[in-house]
Every structure is written in C-alpha cells, then in structure tokens.
Amino acid sequence: MTHPGATPSDKHKVVIIGSGFGGLNAAQKLKRADVDIKLIAKTTHHLFQPLLYQVATGIISEGEIAPPTRVILRNQENCQVLLGEVTNIDLASKTVDSILLGHTYRTPYDTLIVAAGAGQSYFGNDQFAEWAPGMKTIDDALELRGRILGAFEQAERSSDPVRRDKLLTFVVVGAGPTGVEMAGQIAELADHTLRGAFRHIDSTRARVILLDAAPAVLPPMGEKLGKKAQDRLEKLGVEIQLNAMVTDVDRNGITVKRPDGSIDRIEAATKVWSAGVSASPLGKIIADQSEAEIDRAGRVKVGPDLSVPGHPNVFVVGDMALVDGVPGMAQGAIQGAKYVANLVKSELKGADPATRQPFSYFDKGSMATVSRFSAVAKIGKVEFAGFFAWLAWLFLHLVYLVGFKTKIATMLSWTTTFLGRGRSQLTITEQQAYARTRIEQLEEIAATVDEEKAAS
C-alpha cells in the first residue's frame, strides 16, 4: 500500500526511521534541502527521554516532554510525518515496510537514515518486565507513576504490617543516571510531597533501595562523582546496595545474589528497571543483509561516515549505532544526525561520497541530578557537584526541550516542586496502573482463542 495523500515526487527520497533525537534532528537539518522526506515513527511524538523520570514521579506532565512530531515539523514542507512501526528494511530493493493497525505500507528510499534508538534490556530475562517496568517510553513513565502512587494508596488501606512494608518498599535496579534520578525522586516524593497526606501510614517511612551488580554508583561519571551522588542519596535515606546481581523478579519482590554467593530476597511491590539497553531489532535486519556486524547490545557497527558497510546511502545514527568514542546519549544522536544530513546535502550538490570526512563527536559532557538542589556534572576534565551542577542541569535541559510553551510549562512545574513541595502531576488512572497487565491478559486470551481455532 502507498501513502494516501502523499504527492508522488521525483525528488531525492530520504526516509528517516524514528522521531527521537536522531530522527528529528536529521529531518530538521534537511529543512532547506531539495529532497522529499518521509519520517516514519511508531509514536506520534518526539520524546525527551532525559526527563521521563520526572513524569514517572509526578513533577511534569507527559505533554511537556513529548510534543507531536508533525506539529514540530508543520512548517517543513519537504517532510511528511508517518505513524507506523517499521518491521522490515530491504537494502536490495531500497524499501522500508511499516505497519499501522494491521496495514503494511511500503516506502521507497534513495537515502535511509535509521534512528530507531534502543529499548530496555533485561539481559535475557524478559519476564522481569511484567513486574519491573523500564523507563523508555511515556507509557512506561505513566505506568510507573501509577504503580508508585498506587502502592502508597494500597498501604494506607492495609492492616497487615508485613504487606504494608512490602507496599512501601521501592526497588530501583541499575545505578546509572536514570536509576539515581528515579531513586532520588521517589525518596523526595515520599519524604516531602506526600508527608502528612495519609492518616494510617507515614509516607516518610518508605524504603527506597537502589541496587546494581556493579561496584559503584554512576560508573561512567568516575569514582569521585559517583561517590558524591551516593553520599547525597544516602542522606536522603536511599539504601544503596552494590555488587548485587538480580536473579529473579516477581509480583512480590526481587531476588538478589551477593558477591559471597548468598541469595537474598527483598519484598517490594514496586520495582523499576533501569539496568540495560538493547538496540532496536532493526539493527539485526540491517546486519543480516549487509557486511555490518552488531554487538551484544544489538548496535550496528557503522563506518566512519556512519553508513552501513557496502551501503553508502544507508546510515545508522544514535543509540542504534556503534561508533568508538560516541556514547549512547542525546548528543551522540543529535551530532550524528546533523552530520549525516550535511553529507546528504553536500552530495546532492555534487560532492563525491568517496571523499566523505569521518564523523567526529564533540563531547559536551554529562550530568545527572540526584535530588532537588543537587546534581553531578562532568564537562571534559572538569567535574563538579552540588547546587551549581543542579542549576547547570536545569538550564541545559530547558535549552534542549522542544518548544517555547513547553519550556515555560516545565519551568513552572519545577518552581512548584523545587521551591515548594507540590507536584502538579500526581493524577493516576486505573489504565496507567493496570494497562500492561490487562494488555498481557488480552494477548493471552487472543493466543488461546487462536490455539483453539487451530485445533478445531
């Protein structure tokens, strides 16, 4: 099926997969190019993932970090935004297949830019996802908000002290930036925002545990900053458990193996998984048809020009690409996307692909917030922590949020939360809390019906 409403064009066809940092920046950088762009993504929004934890903990609304892609690109006439999940890329016929509600659409390309990002990895234990959602999408963040606030609600109604303790125990797996931010914010929510709001339970007695199989907090930021983040979290009452390998996750808790081989059980109703990433399966589809290799995380090893070996018109950028010295961070995707867009533009003007300069990444540093008024930052060799790091973090995140209104709304939400103790997004709905379980139940029912049909 072709795209209804699309005007046939003999212009150079650029297909971009994904509307995250890579996809959106590639499209925007091609704004003045004489090309016909189709941007295909499986969500209708561009997602600012670094602030997902604030949606999950009720500080900001999902709209503030997920503006509709077609509205962002409304004035870019050379670009059509298409909703659909890409299921296949055919490098030989230069086409991309995407599915929307059971319909498959085929889109031809001259240049393909793949920026489909990464999902959560459970290191081969996908069954953990049911009880420990990750933090990759708006759905994840809203579900976690439902689970976190729902646990306090259930604890208020519980007369069984053991069950109450389980409901008031929150385990965050993975002590990278997302885990640190989540643990810090759950602790502040319990201590600060919800203090005094219940009659039967004391929210400040909630137990927040941050655990990791690694021996340090925030390993990529170095020992000094990791220690500072750990000290600050401990001051907030977060329990840090390092060298702790999760071996099982179920409805009621988590099983952990310690370095001495002993096995521990933590009873906890709410678990958050922020421990690993796995690149989009589109990477494997590309690797199977080319000489490209993929690593254990499914990232495609691209050439110095970010193209797939043997396919100079197919580029992989962002979290899906494996490039030495380029981290899986927003800047890696943004800079890679802009570099590729510039290549496309210059080659349309006649530049020879054989003379491409390699992509070079400019490291602008990295940051993580720990709690209000406290962050850690590493810019080049300069490392700093505390209030000024936090101010720098606020400022940079505002700069990179898309849209003026969004920036104002976010600033207002931050003022309410950080200067007072209120959070403006504490609403939860039944759908947020139970959607994943319900969808899985529906899928099971559908599978049983299919099996019964096949058997009859």
Ligand X SMILES: Cc1cc2nc3c(=O)[nH]c(=O)nc-3n(C[C@H](O)[C@H](O)[C@H](O)COP(=O)(O)OP(=O)(O)OC[C@H]3O[C@@H](n4cnc5c(N)ncnc54)[C@H](O)[C@@H]3O)c2cc1C
| DSSP single-letter state for residue 4 | T
Tokens (6 digits) for 77: 């006439």
Taking 3-state DSSP, the helix, strand and coil percentages for the chain, each rounded to the nearest 5, stand at 40, 25, 35
Which positions from 272 through 291 interact with ligand X, judged by CB under 6 A? 280, 282
CB-wise, 182 or 216, nearer to ligand X? 182
Contact 166, 267 (CB under 8 A): yes
- With contacts defined by CB under 6 A, name the span among 40-48, 230-238, 405-413, 422-430 that binds ligand X: 40-48
Q: Which of 331, 342, 416, 424 binds ligand X (CB under 6 A)?
A: 331
15 binds ligand X (CB under 6 A): no
Shortest separation between residue 335's beta carbon and ligand X, angstroms = 11
Query: Whole-angstrom Cα distance, residue 388 to residue 129?
Result: 36
Q: Which of 81, 116, 142, 344 binds ligand X (CB under 6 A)?
A: 116
Is 98 or 417 the residue whose CB approaches ligand X more closely? 98
Q: What is the chain's length? A: 456
Q: Toward ligand X, which CB reaches closer, 213 or 323?
A: 323
277 Cβ partners below 8 Å, 6+ apart? 118, 119, 120, 121, 297, 319, 328
- What's the CA angle centered on 431, arms 44 and 408, to 5 degrees? 50
**According to the binding rule CB under 6 A, does residue 386 interact with ligand X?**
no
The residue from 19, 203, 307, 425 that contacts ligand X (CB under 6 A) is 19
Q: From the candidates 62, 64, 143, 181, which is the catalytic residue?
A: 181
Contact code string over 44-73 relative to ligand X, x by CB under 6 A: -----xx-x---------------------
Mapped onto helix, strand or coil, the DSSP state of residue 101 is coil
Could you say whether residue 17 binds ligand X (CB under 6 A)? Answer: yes
Which region among 39-47, 145-153, 290-298, 339-347 touches ligand X (by CB under 6 A)?
39-47
- The interface region with ligand X, picked from 37-45, 241-249, 288-296, 378-386 by CB under 6 A, is 37-45
**CA distances for 395 relative to 72, 332, 367, 410, angstroms:** 21, 20, 12, 11
Cα diameter, the chain: 75
- Pick 27 or 86: Cβ nearer ligand X: 86
Q: Count of alpha carbons within 13 Å of 124, Cβ hemisphere only?
A: 3
Tell me the C-alpha distance between 447 and 397, whole Å.
43
Tokens representing 28 are 């925007």
Which window, 222-230, 302-310, 328-336, 412-420, contacts ligand X (CB under 6 A)?
A: 328-336
**Contact pattern from residue 66 through residue 105 relative to ligand X, giving x for each residue in contact according to CB under 6 A and a dash for the rest:** -------------------xx-------------------
Q: Which amino acid is at 448?
A: T
Residue 181 annotated in active site? yes
Q: Which of 135, 225, 244, 322 binds ligand X (CB under 6 A)?
A: 135
Q: Quick check: 401 binds ligand X (CB under 6 A)?
A: no
Helices (H), 193-236: 222-235
Work out the number of other CB atoms within 10 angstroms of the CB of residue 58.
23
Catalytic residues: 181
Give contact residues for ligand X (rule: CB under 6 A).
Answer: 17-23, 40-43, 49-50, 52, 85-86, 115-117, 135-136, 177-178, 280, 282, 318-320, 328-331, 333
